[in-house]
Amino acid sequence: MMKLILMIMFFMGNMIFVSKYKHLLIVLLSLEFIVLVIYVTMMLVFMFMSYNMYMLMLFLVFSVCEGALGLSILVSMIRTYGNDYFQSYNLLW
């Protein structure tokens, strides 16, 4: 039952990532949601297999670094362009 809920949450995060591509903030939030679901899945698998949790700590460090990098890019783009629409950036034209 828990696997089904986690799979539904993962696919829901992927659908938000694919369908809401106009705003950078929504894309970053959906990526963080996907990372959270993967973290919970890895935690459950490691607890079931009785492995060490060092890999989870490494995964958590990298996900925090990814979130901080995404937030810094978002702040930089909002300061430069004034919004977070992908259509207003000259980088994509």
For the stretch 3-31, pLDDT in tens is: 899 999 999 999 988 887 788 888 889 99
pLDDT at 9: 92
pLDDT at residue 22 in the model: 80
Residue 77 pLDDT: 83
User: By C-alpha distance, which of 17, 36, 40, 41 is closest to 28?
Assistant: 17
pLDDT tens digits for range 30-89: 999 999 999 999 999 999 888 888 889 999 999 999 999 999 988 888 888 788 777 666
Q: Tell me the CA distances in angstroms from 82 to 22, 76, 85, 91, one per residue in order.
A: 14, 10, 9, 15
Domain boundaries along the sequence of the chain: 2-92
Is 2-92 in CATH node 1.10.287.3510?
yes
